[in-house]
Amino acid sequence: NAGVTQTPKFQVLKTGQSMTLQCAQDMNHEYMSWYRQDPGMGLRLIHYSVGAGITDQGEVPNGYNVSRSTTEDFPLRLLSAAPSQTSVYFCASSRSGPGNTIYFGEGSWLTVV
Amino acid sequence: DAKTTQPNSMESNEEEPVHLPCNHSTISGTDYIHWYRQLPSQGPEYVIHGLTSNVNNRMASLAIAEDRKSSTLILHRATLRDAAVYYCILRLWSGGSNYKLTFGKGTLLTVNP
């Protein structure tokens, strides 16, 4: 199994540009989420989804959009990139229910100049 | 939201046991305790989780206090590859808290050769 796959791994954007970080999982997980991690910090939840067609905001949603049209995919869109969005982004998935393991992607390193 | 408290950093010597503590005094009866670790430049990976009883797997052991207000992740023989940031998180049953996971800064474990 591929697990959780994120693309691209590295990206440099100019301020004001838009882009989409892709996340796909092949484990038929209901729950998917996006986190950002700034240097020396823990992970902060951006958006999450509990199933196709259902999304909700996390701790730091401003400047980001998500959609969940299929179980497998959960793209994160940056509408107008800002230097403050320079960060490492992690996608995660799991089955619903608190006793289930959370699987993370390898991360996407984004620099906004 | 339920919160966990961990020491910022700990140090160990190679091949010695390591006990990583976590306090979660506001835990509810149906909340699961999860541990994840993050190696440099990688996404977090699952280590272990439990509800009430102590748990063992090939990576580690989880000792849960009788009142469940604290837990300890035990690495029986630390290796250099165990040097990472270790996160203790609670995964709750109640509604959105099941999905709105909170990762603090975790404990940075340094393993000395």
pLDDT tens digit sequence for A39-90: 888 899 999 998 999 999 998 999 999 999 999 999 999 999 999 999 999 9
- Could you tell me which chain A residue has the CA closest to the CA of B42? A106
Query: B22 pLDDT exceeds 90?
Result: yes
What is the C-alpha separation between A22 and A8, in angstroms, rounded? 7
State mean pLDDT over B99-106.
Answer: 78
Q: What is the pLDDT of residue B3?
A: 83
Give the mean pLDDT of chain B. Answer: 90
Cα-trace Rg, chain A: 13
| Sign of the CA dihedral running B80, B10, B60, A41 | negative
- Could you tell me which chain B residue has the CA closest to the CA of A41? B105
What is the C-alpha separation between A76 and A78, in angstroms, rounded? 7
Please give the torsion angle defined by the CA atoms of residues A74, A79, A80 and A86, in that order, rounded to the nearest 10 degrees. -20
- φ, ψ of residue B83 to 5 degrees: the values are -65, 115
Residues B46-99 have pLDDT tens digits of 999 999 989 999 989 999 999 999 999 999 999 999 999 999 998 876 655 556
CB atoms inside a 10 Å sphere around CB B19: 12
The SS3 of residue A26 is coil
Is the CB of A99 less than 8 angstroms away from the CB of B51? yes
Touching check for A40 and chain B: CB below 8 Å? yes
Per-window interface: B 30-49 vs A, CB < 8 A:
30-32, 34, 36, 41-46, 49
The 8-class DSSP code of residue B44 comes to: -
